[in-house]
Chain A
Amino acid sequence: MSSIHKRGNAEVNANLTPMIDVTFLLIVFFVLVSQIVEVESVSMDLPEPIDPMTQKAGEDQRAVINIVPALERGRIEGYRLGTRLFPPGPDGIEALTNQLQTLFEANPTLAINLRADRITHYQYVEPALQAVTDAASRVESADVKARINLVIIRPEGVVHD
């Protein structure tokens, strides 16, 4: 019997409650972030221009158009806005324009981020640019200041001016 603890051997117990709390918070964070990232960014190889004259994406309200690359080089599967995929071609572009119009009506200052793979042919990118312009011009409100943000990757080691 221990001379200090008269009732028996001393037991060391770790209080795991704070650790479990923190761990659950981390899990909730990663679940939410992974969902947001999945909606906003399709995995693709973005352009990496030399010495880019870009700026960091702010926290402005934005929608993201992902031009989803196809397996065939330069071609695309479609245009993804949120969780909807619009097929390439006039019908898909018209549906994309209507969807963008709805977004602009709800938020006239919405920014549109455009993500396209670096080897995607320009003939598939330009309709998306045109869709944003058309959607903004269809909205009655004069407050619409639609903006397209072209998303690229800043090469490693290149710092901001």
Chain B
Amino acid sequence: MTDPVSNLHFGPEPELDPEAQAIKRARSHRRRAKPGNRIKLNLTAMIDVVFLLLIYFMVATDFKVGEEIYRMDLPDRSQAQAEQDPFDLDEEPLRINVATSGLGRSRYQISIDGPYPQPDDFQELFEILRARQIRDNASGGLFEPDHPIVIQPTRTTQWEHAIEAFNAAARARYTNVIFAKPQ
């Protein structure tokens, strides 16, 4: 077994053979030649993947562009539970019947219960409702803006036709519009 202490060397370095000296010079020269040499990560592959992910999510994300809402308040139970004035007369709601009569957006039938002109389309429905609303600057009004209006679709009425009827009443500035159970 070699004694480690005997390997210690003090004093001038021992002579190296010429080949070893050349290797040592080359190594020392390499270290001095590029003083700013650092370890670098190759980020190219990661950036490629990150961009692919970004493009995927940009394409796959479906924003709800153009979605809007009709606010429809539910009946206020606090008022419902309050004592009612026995002399108050219930207002008879204006009932609008809507039915889908075939495939297609323009295949529908509308009718208003009561002695009112019958509309052919939702624009006419809007005009009839608007004309019969009590307003300061117009005569011939029958209904207050908060007069109850009931949209009465059938079981097979398409949702878009029910919504169109609702929209006609909302456009005419009625504030108490509800949907009835299907007939």
Contact = CB atoms under 8 A, between A and B. Distances in A.
A92 interface: no
Contacts of B78: 142
Contacts of B77: 136-137, 142, 144
Interface residues of A, number: 58
A123 B50 contact: no
A31 interface: yes
A133 interface: yes
B158 interface: yes
Contacts of A136: 74, 77
Contacts of B57: 27, 30-31, 34
B74 A54 contact: no
Interface string A1-41: 00000000000000010011001101100110110010011
Interface string B119-141: 00011000000000000000000
A49 B71 contact: no
Given A74-B156, A142-B77, 16 more contacts: A23-B47, A55-B68, A57-B68, A74-B158, A118-B163, A122-B155, A122-B157, A122-B179, A122-B182, A132-B74, A133-B74, A136-B77, A147-B72, A151-B67, A152-B70, A154-B68
B114 interface: no
Interface stretch (B7-15, B21-29, B164-172): B164-172
Interface in A45-101: 46-57, 74
Nearest to A119: B158
B2 interface: no
Interface residues of B, number: 47
Nearest to A113: B69
B158 A118 contact: yes
B125 to A, nearest CB: 11
B62 interface: yes
B58 interface: yes
A130 B158 CA distance: 18
Greatest chain A CB density within 10 A among B50, B75, B167 is at B167
Contacts of A50: 122-123, 164, 167
B121 to A, nearest CB: 9
